[in-house]
Structure 1
Amino acid sequence: MKNRHKVLIIDDEPHIRRLILAALTRADYATVEAGNAREAMDRLRVERPDLVLLDLGLPDRDGLELVPLIKQQAETVLIVVSARDATDEKVAALDLGADDYLTKPFDTDELLARLRVALRNRMTRAGGAPTLVLGDVTIDLMARVVTKAGEEVHLAPKEYAVLAQLAAAPGRVITHQQIMTHVWAYENERHVEYLRVLVRTLRQKLEADPQRPQIITNELGIGYRLRVPGDHHAVSEG
């Protein structure tokens, strides 16, 4: 019998929980519900879910405060599902450790797609350094080799560092701050424009059409993600 992933739905609005519950049940997920932060933390400890869907507007505590607490459960994937659509809220949630962020109102098919990508990403991390095949581009993190159409692509150290960070979490948005902290860890001067220039260079080397990127995609004002098959996020340059 197939192992069913268990999802904890944390939302104080019963009709939203019912909507998500119906979609997850049709997709054969096991589900647990919580209507506030206290109940959510109790369910988290007892049920040990594979994935958490977290609303930020909870009645007894700001959902952002729960993000690092939930992520202490090392094997739990966390997707924020919130009506808060400000860029700074999204960046804050992602910088605190959320794996993705979906804004209400949402399409349930997109929600399910994001769950699949997030769970696949978790399994990839558990399996060690992966080899990713993205069209004619192959990224071998173990060998630290990138090829395009069978030919090795020569990357500068910082170019590889950015690509490797994105490839370690395919399908997940990585914020500008997370990337810069990783790539420019020992440098006092960090500026997002350095990162934008570096990503443009990577696209020139990897994309079939750098003006219409299909591999490294932009989350406007937030960061970048490595687009993988089944990831239906909008593609944009930036």
Structure 2
Amino acid sequence: MRLYSSLYLLLSFLLFVFSSISVHASNTSDVFEPANLKDSKSSLQNKIKFPRKVLRSDVDTNLVVRCDAQVTRSGKLSLNYCLDKSKKAFPYVVAINNAAKRATIKPGKVNGRARKTWFQYYVVFMKKGDKHSVEVMPNSGLEVNRYGFDYTSAQRYKEGKGNFGVGCGINKHITVNAVIETDGTPSEIKVATEDAGKNCIKYLTKTFMAQKYIPAMVDGVAVRSLYSEQIFRFLPR
């Protein structure tokens, strides 16, 4: 009887250990490293040049330009879209796009594996008298009041085959807004548009729910955040 009791206790212990391991594995969180700016000669900060025409003028400037870029696994900006299409912003957008072709940043990683991500950032151009500066911030600016200037916005890194905006027509002004949780899952998705149909809205909502995201980060800690992305249907994605 003692032998059977000992075996029973041993089996119970082993079952407990294996069940504990299984639960731990199922609850294991992904390890996220967001794409981010870096301090080097090839950094976006160093590559952006203040427009010469503006420097030669007597006009003081304080302009903010928000951009989205697709960052490759090697850290290159393969696609770059700046959202301000105004005449005033044009020379600044040209300066940013020229820099993006030659700049590199730290690629985003999930569990140590580099991923192609959508990196959101904004550039502040300031000129007063003969002094000028260019500052690049690694976020969309939506959560600056809550998380400060240096947080990184959530970054989308999964994308299905084909064109991302299928069913949404050409040259439509469409923005997808969402909340990205600390584990990278999206919630509260809303499609903001004035000229896209119901099928487009339905498709984008479903597609964004199926995407994966690196959550916003503050000092290496994942935080819940607002996320906003414009859909550039007139360009290949």
Report the TM-score range of the alignment, normalised by the length of the smaller protein. Answer: under 0.3
Q: Under a length normalisation based on structure 2, what TM-score does the superposition of the two structures give? A: 0.23
Determine which structure has greater relative contact order: mean sequence separation of CA pairs < 8 Å that are 6+ residues apart, divided by chain length: 2
Higher strand share: 2
- Work out which of the two has the higher radius of gyration on C-alpha atoms and give 1 or 2: 2
Instruction: Looking at secondary structure, tell me which structure has more helix per residue.
Output: 1
TM-score relative to the length of structure 1: 0.22
